[in-house]
Structure 1
Amino acid sequence: MFNSPSHQDCAARARSWQSAPRAKPPLAARISASAGFTLIEFMVGLTIGLVVVAGALSWAGQSLAAQVRQRRSWQLHQELRAIASQLQMELRRAGAHGRPSQLVWRADRGASANPFTEISASGGGWSGASSGTSSSAGSSGGNLGSSGTLRLNRALDRDITQPDASTEVTFRWLDGRLDQTIGGRFQPWTDPALMQISGFSASVHRVPHPLGPPCAPAVETRTVQVLLQGQSTQDPKIQQQLGLSVHVRNDPAPIASPDPALAGGCP
């Protein structure tokens, strides 16, 4: 015969079930029940992160490109300054005589004119429009020419009293470079692989200064003005101009003589 459990048995079983440890829920149930990001939130966060990274990379690229342009512009400026320094040195020596004492009048032998005073400039221009620059003698644009020369004479040896191939110095602008005569032959002065000379202009300004009355002889002062334009070979957009003005020291002067008629003075 089936005996139903007593009230005491049911209470004991209830107490044992409550005190027994409960099994943990499955892993999927625990993950879904815990706090976290949804798929939409994850995609929004990923998009924002990508935008921030793209902006940082773009800024870094622009900063690096600006630094490279600045370095190339500085190199171009230094190259032009080196050329201008050499030109200035040669122009200041223009007209130098090997024996300057022969140019001074003396009663026993007279005097002779300085044969090294000739200086000339021809041609010149710009192979393209100038775009942004550092200039101290003005700027010019347009296709005005593709070649130019600046020619002078000077004697560096005391035994040289007449011009020859060794005393003539010519600077030539041709095919984007500057050449200089060395030993009577043109030698490249600049490297087109590093810098293109896109503009060259030279002019000689002569000013006479009378030594006395209107019919008296005059001393002629000469000023040479040179304007250079360089262009970076690596970045043609980088261009700079540099100008210099040099007063030639050895000015042509009349032969001094105590007789005004011999000296070109008034009769």
Structure 2
Amino acid sequence: MSRTLEPSPAWFEIDPAFYAHGGSCFSEDEAAALGEPAGLRALVGPVTPENQAEEALSLVNLGANVTAWSPSETAAERGRSLADAAGRTLAWQFGALEELAARMPGSFDLVYHCWGGLAPDTDLDRYAASIAALLAPGGRLVLYDRHPFANVVGLHKGLLVVARGYFPFRPGDNPWTLGDLLTALADAGLALELLDEFPGSERYRTATDSLPGLQWELRFRVPSAMLLTAVLAFYHEPVAGHPPTG
């Protein structure tokens, strides 16, 4: 009797030695978007149990001065454990992004936005204003996350179908679109440098990965991951009272 080989959980465990010896998790596309981060003041987050601070550790190994941000200490536990096991020291900040923006205006040359940071209920205007407040003039945002269009598709009798609306007309539709995100960033003073879209992610599970029995050739018809970079072209409006320092 044959059976399908199930992956062992050990296959997905992160070896701290990889980061202890200078490893980087970034794909070629992300590395190209980041450029030369050595010496930059970088904020990396949100650190969650899903990403485990791998991007923060990678940027440390690439020479950046890294501050890891997480919404809570609980969410950062796995990331802190991995950093300790790898012998890498990270500075940490906790709390909502807008609170961090009010505490540390203009403190970073680079904000790396980790996978899963854009939730369905994200207030994009507040998010973009917080990113702008955290960046020093000329600072850059590098964002790698789920593509909103991937939530639209589903499977019906083996066929790829439009199962939900891309625009927020009915309950269950996307609450925001890629255009909404780009407009919010522009309104906050961030000028788009790069927008790239991918049918999958090398590191993370996407919405199309969750569709049971989706054929490989169908996976490449829908974007499920996105990478964008933007530079702070002008400072628009403070998040809370104090403009960023130059």
**TM-score for the superposition, normalised by structure 1:** 0.19
**TM-score for the superposition, normalised by structure 2:** 0.21
